[in-house]
């Protein structure tokens, strides 16, 4: 186990808490068992979810790192705690869709399951009070959240993340339908992938299962009351570990 000490609570979100450490270049993230959906209108405690999401995220961040993509991840602290670099989070949620699902099919006449090639990239304004609205180019410009160059950098990085994750998940029998990532700037101004990458933030379908509900191995099981949420997340971890067994512990 690492010698880092947990400092003060810096931020508490719906699924994670962020704490300082004695090293200003490191913060600690605790993954909670809280599950929320529909802007926290639906809530539950799912024992074991925090550990599963932390371990899955750690392995996926290591995968991105191995592919040369920058992330905030430094290593595991314990099974549900991660050591990361502190970043200034860009208040934009980047969603990449390889297959139509979720909000896209509620807002557009596109049938669920329709392949999207090239993948669709949607930007949302990260603000719960406004319900994370979809951004247009013009709205993004008015808000002045990022420069045009930074936006381009964010989009290029997000698409590269998609390429790496798509191939990785396909190799373990999972279809990456869509996912959300958050990005941040480090103290030196580098853009890195931050937050988490887990079944809370990705839609993942088991390629070996035909049934449109049975194949779901992500948070849609919670959103749609399908049951077996933790079991599904456990299956995702098992598949991911088939390719890369153990995440590194930060030392
Ligand atoms: N997503 C997320 N956090 C959000 C919104 C979406 O992690 O606040 C993920 C979601 O799990 C899915 C993808 O982003 O993998 C696309 O979500 P969508 O826009 O379809 O919204 P939803 O159907 O979740 O309302």
Q: What is the pLDDT of residue 245?
A: 86
Query: Residue 104: enclosing H or E segment and its boundaries?
Result: helix 103-107
Of residues 11, 61, 100, 83, the one with CA closest to residue 182: 61
Structure tokens at 223: 């959103």
State the distance from the centre of ligand 1 to the C-alpha of 217, rounded, in angstroms.
Answer: 14
* pLDDT score recorded for residue 137: 96
Ligand 1 residue neighbourhood (C-beta within 6 Å): 93, 95, 101-104, 132, 178-180, 201-203, 219
CA 224, CA 12: separation in Å to the nearest integer?
26
179 CA distance to ligand 1 centroid (A)?
7
Please give the number of the atom of ligand 1 that sits closest to the Cα of 218: 11
State the closest ligand 1 atom to the C-alpha of 201, by its place in the atom list counted from 1.
7
Domain boundaries, the chain: 88-226
pTM above 0.85, yes or no: yes
Q: Residues 43-58: pLDDT tens digits?
A: 999 999 999 999 999 9
% of the chain beyond a pLDDT of 70: 99
pLDDT tens track for 56-108: 999 999 999 999 999 999 999 999 999 999 999 999 999 999 999 999 999 99
Position 2 scores a pLDDT of 56
DSSP symbols for 153-205? HHHHHHHHHHHHHHHHHHHTTEEEEEEEEEEEE-TT--EEEES--STTTEEEE
Domain 88-226 belongs in CATH node 3.30.470.20: yes
117: confidence class by pLDDT, cuts 50, 70, 90: very high
Residues 176 and 101: beta-carbon distance below 8 Å: no
């Amino acid at each position: 186990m690492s010698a880092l000490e947990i400092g003060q609570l810096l931020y508490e979100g719906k699924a994670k808490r962020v704490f300082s450490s004695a090293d200003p270049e490191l913060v600690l993230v605790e993954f909670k068992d809280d599950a929320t959906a529909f802007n926290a209108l639906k809530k539950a405690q799912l024992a074991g979810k925090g550990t599963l999401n932390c371990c899955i995220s750690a392995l996926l961040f290591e995968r991105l790192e191995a592919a040369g993509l920058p992330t905030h991840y430094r290593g595991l602290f314990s099974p549900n705690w991660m050591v990361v670099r502190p970043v200034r989070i860009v208040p934009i949620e980047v969603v990449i869709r390889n297959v139509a699902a979720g909000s896209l099919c509620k807002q557009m006449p596109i049938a669920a399951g329709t392949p999207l090639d090239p993948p669709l990239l949607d930007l949302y304004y990260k603000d719960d009070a406004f319900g994370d609205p979809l951004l247009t180019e013009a709205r993004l410009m008015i808000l002045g959240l990022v420069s045009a160059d930074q936006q381009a950098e964010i989009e290029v990085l997000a698409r590269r993340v998609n390429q790496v994750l798509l191939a990785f998940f396909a190799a373990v029998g999972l279809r990456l339908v869509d996912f959300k990532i958050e990005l941040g700037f480090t103290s030196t101004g580098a853009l890195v992938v931050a937050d988490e990458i887990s079944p809370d933030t990705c839609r993942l379908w088991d390629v070996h299962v035909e049934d449109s509900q049975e194949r779901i191995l992500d948070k849609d099981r919670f959103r749609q009351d399908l049951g077996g949420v933790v079991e599904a997340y456990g299956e995702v971890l098992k598949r991911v570990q088939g390719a890369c067994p153990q995440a590194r512990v930060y030392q």
